[in-house]
Amino acid sequence: MARVEKTALVCGAGGFIGSHLVRRLKREGYWVRGVDLKYPEFSETEADDFLVGDLRSQQTCQMIVDHRFDEVYQLAADMGGAGYIFTGEHDADVMHNSATINLNMLDVCRKRNCKQIFYSSSACIYPAYNQEDASNPKCSEDSAYPAAPDSEYGWEKLFSERLYMSFARNYKMATRVARYHNIFGPEGTWQGGKEKAPAAVCRKIAMAKSGDTIEIWGDGEQTRSFLYVDQCVEGTTRLLRSSFGEPVNIGSEEMVTINSLVAMVADIAGKTIHVEHIPGPLGVRGRNSDNRLIGKALDWAPSSRLRDGLEVTYAWIESQVAATAR
């Protein structure tokens, strides 16, 4: 008898994490449908079927969820780095666009009896009041309430987390919610205003000569942790296939200041780089993943070293910079 392939739907498959996830699911032998407003920017999609469509449209969602997918990954969102989500200029779009996508997708998945749905929430849901101390931020899953995210992006994520949990409770769906913490890697946005700190730092250093000065927002003593995309994808598939139904962090516990991130990238590049600190959108003072719960829930936690991921990412961004200069 012919083997029946498992099917997966990846929403946001033209984006950074979504395109890596499609590649991973194909390697595992899934038949994959990807959906996005756009094709992946940096490589051909490996999806068996890729639909360019707007998930804010109910009709589009009905069309793409045309059978009971074994796995649905909902990663589509209107998002970007600090320069996009902390300026306030995009708040209405961020909230309206992302909430509409989640409302539509849950509704059609329920109607098609797709039970296994993954949702990518964010560390941005954690209360700002627990992240004022750069060296000791609190991001354990149970610290999410009383809620006080530092951006409307975080509030939408929190609303949508609760939406997914409600569908699980009332319609017996197996929704899985991860709170991603700063994912980075090759094929992520590296210019244009939506890029995150690791990509922005790699780009600035790739474009600089040894001895040059680059600009960094704030005093650079704000802390973050950054997770390499392969580990994010690993955690994502493991979580979806687990029986764990509560929101859980997927991030790295290797917390660094932005100044030390710059120093690490400069060292990888083999360049002497000076820093000028300028005012800019910053977000919380400190943030780090807390991996105790994921360790218990999945018997697995991300383990890659920041420097290893940065080496690969710097090399990729350097090649992009060189190609653009040609």
What residues line the site for ligand NAD (CB under 6 A)? 12, 14-18, 36-38, 54-56, 75-79, 97, 101, 120, 122, 180, 182-183, 196
**Joined tokens for residue 58:** 């109910």
- 7 versus 151: smaller Cβ distance to ligand NAD: 151
- 38 versus 209: smaller Cβ distance to ligand NAD: 38
The answer to whether the beta carbons of residues 284 and 130 sit under 8 Å apart is no
Nearest to 178 by CA among 283, 74, 102: 74
Active site includes 153? Answer: yes
DSSP 89: T
Strand, helix or coil for residue 121: strand
- 30 versus 153: smaller Cβ distance to ligand NAD: 153
Looking at 30, 84, 153, 228, which residue is catalytic?
153
H/E element, 314: helix 306-325
Nearest residue to ligand NAD by CB is: 15
Strand, helix or coil for residue 36: strand
Distance of closest approach, residue 19 Cβ to ligand NAD, in angstroms: 8
Distance of closest approach, residue 264 Cβ to ligand NAD, in angstroms: 18
The answer to whether the beta carbons of residues 147 and 156 sit under 8 Å apart is no
Beta bridge partners of residue 278, listed in sequence order:
217
Distance of closest approach, residue 11 Cβ to ligand NAD, in angstroms: 7
31 exposure class (CB count in 10 Å sphere: 0-12, 13-18, 19+): middle
Distance of closest approach, residue 239 Cβ to ligand NAD, in angstroms: 13
Q: How many CA atoms lie within 13 A of 172 on its CB side?
A: 1
- 101 versus 202: smaller Cβ distance to ligand NAD: 101
Catalytically active residues are: 153
